[in-house]
Amino acid sequence: MRRSSVAGPAPRWWLYLPAFFLIAAGWAVALPVNGTYDEKDHIARAYAVTTGQLITHRTVVDRRDDRKPAFLVPASLMPSNSNVDCAWAPRPARSADCQHWTTDRALVLTPSGAARYSPVYYLLVGAPLVLAPDRTGILLARLISALAAAALLAGAAGAALRLGSRVLALGVVLTATPMAANLAGSVNPNGLEIAAGVAVCCALLALLRAPDARLGDRAVRRLLVLVGVGSLVLLTVRQLGPALLMLIVAACLALARPGRIAKLWQRRETRWIVAGSWSLGLAGSLGWMAYSGVAGVAPVARDAQHLAPSELAQVLVTRRIPFYLKQVVGQFDYGETKPPLVVIAAWCLLLGAVVVPSLIHGGRRLILVAASLGTACLGLLLALELHYLPIIGWFAQGRYAMPAAAGVVLCAACAPQFERRLASRHRLRSYCTVLTGVAAVLHVYLLAFVMTRFQSGPGAHLDPFAGAWRPPSGALPPLLAVLAGGAILAVLAAVVAGDSPRGPVHAPPDQHALPSMPNVR
C-alpha cells in the first residue's frame, strides 16, 4: 500500500521543552540538598551506581537507630548522616541553615532507602555526582533530571497537537503540577516517571484516535518512539511502573477508534518499537527484582500498625485519601510543608475546568474510562497501604500514582466535543490562555512559599528574599526561571489555540468511520 504523505500541521513540541525545563530548573536551583522526598537516599544511590556499587551488603545505623543498607560515598557529597534531615527532623522543623557541610572527600558509609532500586535512572544522573561530589554535582544532577522530564512532557504536548487537540495540550500543562515540577527538579526518579506516564498516554491517544490525515508515516514513527521511550522509563525506574503502564494502556485502548488497534498492529514498526520496548522493559524490571531482592521489605515494628477495620476505614477516608489528593498538587519537603488549602483548591479547579466539561460533552464511554482509571489508581494506593501497614506502617503517597492518574485528565481532554464548542464560540484561545496563566502564577507562588519555608523556617511570612539560608544562586534566579517557563507556556497556549487546524478535526470513535491507515511491510 502506498505510504501517506499527509502529516497535518507541524506540532510545536520543541517550543514546550524550554518552558517545562525552566519550571523544573527553578525548583532545582531553589531547594536545599534533601529538600524533597527521599532525595538523600537517591543521591547516595546515584553516586554508588555510577561507581559500580550496584548492590551493597554494608549497613549503617541511621538517625532513627534503624539499620539501613549503606554505600561508600564522599563525605562532601551531603551533610552527615545525623544532620542531613535537620530541616524537618527532629521536630520542630527549621530553616536549611542547620545543615553543615565538609570539603573532606574521604569515603564514608551513607545509608540509602533506595539501595536496591533499579540502576537505570541513577546512571542518567550520577556522573556529575562523581565528578563534583558536592552541591555543584547535586545541582547538575538535578538539572539533568529536569531536562529529561521536560523532554518527555514536551513530547506529550507535541503528541496532543498531532491529535489536533489544544485542550489535550492544556491538559499536559496542568498535569505537570507543582509537585511534579518539584520532583523533576530533584534527584528522584518519581519526577521522570510522572513525565513518562504523561508522554505514553498522550502518544497512545494520538495513535489511537487521530485521523489518518494527521498520521503520516513519519508522525506515526515519532509517536511510537515516544511510546517506547516512555514505556521503558516507566518499566525500569520504579517498582510500580509495570502496573502503572498497564493502567495507562488499558485506558487508551478503551478509547481507540474502531479498527485502529488492528491497523496499528499490522505495522512492522509498531511490533518492533512498542512490543519490543515493553518486552525489554518488563524483562529488565523482573530481572532486576530477582537479582536485587527489592521486593523484600524488612519489618519495622516501631511504625507497624494493626487497626480494627472501622478505625482503618476512618483513617483512610479522613486522613490518607485527602493527603493523596493534596500531594498531587503539592505537599512539599517530607510532607510537612503544606501550602494554603485555597491554593490546592485553585489548582484542582483548573483541572476540573478541563475534566468536567470534557466528560459532560464526551459521552458515557469517556466517563466510564476516566472513572475506572481514577478508581484503579486510588485502589492501587489503598492496596499498598493495606499490605504495608502491618509491616512498616503507612506507606502510600499520592505521587506514586501520578504517572497513571494524570491519564484521568488527559483521557477526558482528548475528547473533541468540548473543544469544538469552545472554538465555535471563539473562546478556545481565551480558555487555554487564562487557565495556563493561572497555572503559571500558582507555580511561582508555590515556589516562593517553599523557598520561604527553607530560608526562614515553617510558618514564616511569605518572603523568598529573606531568611538565614539562601540558594547558592540567590533567590531571584529560580523565581525568574519559573516565571519565564510559565510565560512561555501561556504564550504557546494563546498561539496554539488560535491556530486553525489544517485537515479534518478528529472525531469521536463511535461517530465516524476510521480512515485507512497505511500498512508498512
User: Which residues make Cβ contacts (< 8 Å) with residue 34, sequence separation at least 6?
Assistant: 40, 43, 78, 79, 84, 85, 87, 99
Cα–Cα dist 480/140, whole Å: 19
pLDDT digits (tens, 9 = 90+) for 201-222: 999 999 999 987 678 888 999 9
Amino acid at 214: R
Mean of the pLDDT values across residues 394-422? 96
Amino acid at 60: V
Cell of 286: 523482573
Q: In the prediction, which pLDDT does 148 show?
A: 98
Q: Which helix (H) or strand (E) holds 69?
A: strand 67-74
Q: In the prediction, which pLDDT does 499 show?
A: 56
Nearest to 500 by CA among 413, 426, 430, 432: 426
**Three-class SS state of 257:** coil
Cell of 387: 499490605
pLDDT category of residue 256 using cuts at 50, 70 and 90: very high
Nearest to 201 by CA among 432, 414, 11: 414
Q: Which helix (H) or strand (E) holds 59?
A: strand 59-61
pLDDT digits (tens, 9 = 90+) for 135-146: 999 999 999 999
State CA 156 to chain mean position distance: 12
CB distance 478 to 451 below 8 Å = yes
371 phi, psi to nearest 5 deg = -65, -40
Whether the bond into 90 is cis, omega within 30 of 0: yes
pLDDT digits (tens, 9 = 90+) for 475-500: 999 999 999 999 999 999 999 987 54
Cα–Cα dist 295/293, whole Å: 5
Cα–Cα dist 138/115, whole Å: 18
CB distance 27 to 447 below 8 Å = yes
Cell of 255: 478509547
Dihedral of alpha carbons 335, 341, 347, 352, sign = positive
Q: In the prediction, which pLDDT does 296 show?
A: 64
Cα–Cα dist 302/291, whole Å: 29
**pLDDT for 242 beyond 70:** yes
Cα–Cα dist 189/256, whole Å: 30
**pLDDT for 316 beyond 90:** yes
Highest-confidence range of 29-33, 83-87, 284-288, 503-507, by mean pLDDT?
29-33
| 8-state DSSP, 273 | I
Q: In the prediction, which pLDDT does 301 show?
A: 79
Amino acid at 126: G
Is 156 exposed, middle or buried (CB count within 10 Å of its CB: 0-12, 13-18, 19+)?
Answer: buried
CB distance 390 to 184 below 8 Å = no
Cα–Cα dist 454/460, whole Å: 10
pLDDT category of residue 175 using cuts at 50, 70 and 90: very high
Q: In the prediction, which pLDDT does 295 show?
A: 60
pLDDT digits (tens, 9 = 90+) for 271-311: 999 999 999 999 999 899 888 876 667 788 788 899 999 99
User: Which residues make Cβ contacts (< 8 Å) with residue 373, sequence separation at least 6?
Assistant: 247, 250, 251, 404, 405, 407, 408, 411
**pLDDT for 250 beyond 80:** yes
Cα–Cα dist 423/435, whole Å: 16
CB distance 247 to 373 below 8 Å = yes
Cα–Cα dist 288/416, whole Å: 42
Q: Which helix (H) or strand (E) holds 408?
A: helix 398-413
